[in-house]
Structure 1
Amino acid sequence: MAVIGVFSAKGGVGKTTLAVELAWRSAVGSGHRTLLWDLDAQGGCSYLLRLEEPTGSRAASAFYKTSNLRDLIVDTRFAGLSLLPSDQSLRNLVLTFSRIGSPYRLAQQTKFLAANYDRVIMDCPPGLNATSEQIIAAADLLLVPLSPTCLKAGTLDKIRSELIRHHRRHPPILPVLSMLDIRRRLHRETLAALEPRWPVVPMNSLVEQMAVRRAPLGSFASWSEPSRAMERLFNAIEVKIAELESRQ
């Protein structure tokens, strides 16, 4: 099993969109038994997958009792793709992890899921805090979407510094240039300066249609360039995972 964290230090960079799309491609395109774990209290994954928001506030309880995890998982309308939805109890997730004390609680829970899933993709809340430390300890790979503006602001450098400061051993980072609009000079300059070339997800109305249709991009516009960009990103992730597994 591989655990992929879709993580950003700030919101508004397409994090949830990427998490849902990649989970769909993992399950439907590659046949992996895939769990999308929504750790963001906003509940965007449920919305994009056209699922009702959970009633009650039980999501945080699973961090105290691991056996509760399987009771919270729901099937989606896509074969092989399950969702562990968020709810309002995750608004205090930082406090929850502080109370638990162990920095490896999330890592222990993902191992508990290994018998049932080939891929666990986590839609992570933004920010560098106790929750991000749990994610870093649990993930095999961190996917970090960055808009050209975030990149210019040094967001990736801040994340790398945080990893080095608090984690001697941390998962590899796969940065993604997201929301790229080549009509903008700053975006073109940012793209040209990248070496080596990162995966790129363009700003496009079809990507925005995911929120309107409440469906993964590949399920309604597989022919499009944004969908092909998502496929290239997914393939880059799979190559990275294969490299990591070959070292074990």
Structure 2
Amino acid sequence: MAVIAIYSVKGGVGKTTFAVNLAWCSAAISRRTTLLWDLDAAGGAGFMLGIDPKKKRSADEVIARESDPAKLIKSTGYKDLDLLPADDTLRALDRQFDRLGKKKQLAKITGTLGRTYERIIFDCPPVLNETSAQVVRAADLIIVPLPPSPLSSRAFDIVVDEVKEQTKKHPPILPVLSMLDLRRNLHREAREQNPKWPAIPQASAIEQCAVRREPVGAFAPRAAGARGFAQLWTAIERKLAKL
């Protein structure tokens, strides 16, 4: 079992799009039993997978172990891919972790879920608090989407500092250029400065994920965006194999 966190302290960088598409790649390409765990109260992962939220709000009960995660996990309709959905109770997740006072609470829960799932992917909120610290301690690999901009570079530096601060032997961090458009000077410069980083292109098919509420590989497998996520997933699997 491996835990992969899609994380950035900056919003609007494509975290949920990455999480949904990589989870689909895990299940569809690698044929791994995969759980996408949405830790963001906005609930974007469920929306993008066509799953509407339940009226009963209880996502936070999983963290406190007051509820069996299996009771909240939902099938996505894609083979080997399940979702642990978010709801607005997660807005107070940071305070809940503080009250529990257990620094590896999230890691313990994922350890239990690992008996069922080979890959667990976190869609993380853009925060810098105890929630992000719990994610760092639970993750085997952290993926940081970075649209080519100075603010994104600064956000990446903050993520690196946070990861190093939270654990002595920190998980590897994989930066990924997102929404890359090589017609733009700034984007070309970012690519030239980081030629070895994986990249996901700016593509209309990827933008359609939120409209169609499907991963891009499910409806446009030959599109550049689908190929980009498939290549990124291959790189992730290779990195995990070396851990």
TM-score, with normalisation over the residues of structure 1? 0.95
The one-letter amino acid paired with 1:183 is R
Q: What CA distance in whole angstroms lies between the structure 2 residues aligned with 1:46 and 1:166?
A: 29
The one-letter amino acid paired with 2:178 is S
Q: CA deviation at 1:163?
A: 2.1
What runs of 5+ residues in structure 1 fail to find an aligned partner? none
**1:66/1:109 contact within 8 Å kept:** no
**2:203/2:224 contact within 8 Å kept:** no
Tell me the residue number matched to 2:228: 229
Q: What CA distance in whole angstroms lies between the structure 2 residues aligned with 1:169 and 1:66?
A: 30
Q: What CA distance in whole angstroms lies between the structure 2 residues aligned with 1:152 and 1:119?
A: 27
Tell me the residue number matched to 2:169: 169
What SS is found at the alignment partner of 2:159? helix
Q: CA deviation at 1:208?
A: 0.3
Count matched residues.
243
Tell me the residue number matched to 1:112: 112
Residues 136-160 of structure 1 deviation map (CA, whole Å, 9 limit, x = unaligned):
0000000111111156642212211
What SS is found at the alignment partner of 2:149? helix
**Aligned residues: percent identity?**
47
The one-letter amino acid paired with 2:39 is L
Q: Is 1:123 equivalent to 2:123 in the alignment?
A: yes
Q: CA deviation at 1:181?
A: 1.4
Tell me the residue number matched to 1:213: 212
Q: What CA distance in whole angstroms lies between the structure 2 residues aligned with 1:38 and 1:152?
A: 22
The one-letter amino acid paired with 2:202 is M
What SS is found at the alignment partner of 1:55? coil
Quickly say closer, same or farther: Cα 1:45–1:198, change in 2 above 3 A: same
The one-letter amino acid paired with 2:242 is E
Q: CA deviation at 1:165?
A: 2.7
- After superposing on structure 2, the runs of 4+ consecutive aligned residues of structure 1 that deviate more than 6 Å are none
What runs of 5+ residues in structure 2 fail to find an aligned partner? none
Q: What CA distance in whole angstroms lies between the structure 1 residues aligned with 2:182 and 2:74?
A: 39
1:58-69 pair list within 5 angstroms: 58-65=58-65, 68-69=68-69
Q: What CA distance in whole angstroms lies between the structure 2 residues aligned with 1:174 and 1:52?
A: 31
**1:54/1:85 contact within 8 Å kept:** no
Tell me the residue number matched to 2:197: 198
1:6-45 pair list within 5 angstroms: 6-45=6-45
Q: What CA distance in whole angstroms lies between the structure 2 residues aligned with 1:167 and 1:16?
A: 25
Residues 79-135 of structure 1 deviation map (CA, whole Å, 9 limit, x = unaligned):
110000000100111111111111100000000111100000110111211100000
Quickly say closer, same or farther: Cα 1:58–1:150, change in 2 above 3 A: farther
Tell me the residue number matched to 2:178: 178
The one-letter amino acid paired with 2:68 is N
The one-letter amino acid paired with 2:21 is E
Q: What CA distance in whole angstroms lies between the structure 1 residues aligned with 2:209 and 2:114?
A: 29
